[in-house]
Amino acid sequence: MKIDVKKFSKIQDIYISPDPQEHRPAWIWFAYIDDDLAVAAGRGRASSWWNSAMISRKGQIHIDGKVYQVEFEPVTDKENIDKFIDSYRQRSGYSWDPAWEKNFRPTVMRLKFLKELGKSIR
């Protein structure tokens, strides 16, 4: 499924559920890597939703009033992680804590949209 994710640029956060049967959706921020939506875990590898995403590799996101099934694709190359960090900094508008970024960087993942599942209640 191809979707223009730039239409979400005015939205600050989404809800993510790597395993909808086991976890309720977690509130997170997102950013971009080129034309892809991407997320990372603020608590780093200690984040339960991120660990579930690494196991399941698929899940759901709630954004802009809709639920989508997505695939989680880990981002490991420095260039794309830097793009994500730059986008995240621009979107957040907050001061940046380098210690926080150290935990954040290894958890960056792209969201690949698979299908729209319907209307979100979030």
Specify the CATH architecture of the domain 4-117. Roll (2.30)
Contact 66, 120 (CB under 8 A): yes
Domain segments of the chain as ranges: 4-117
In the sheet where 26-29 sits, what is the strand order? Answer: 26-29, 13-17, 58-63, 66-74, 109-119, 36-39, 31-33
Q: Work out the percent of the chain whose per-residue pLDDT is above 90.
A: 63
**Token pair of 39 as six digits:** 């997320």
Q: What is the pLDDT of residues 19-52, one digit of tens each?
A: 877 778 899 989 999 999 999 998 899 999 999 9
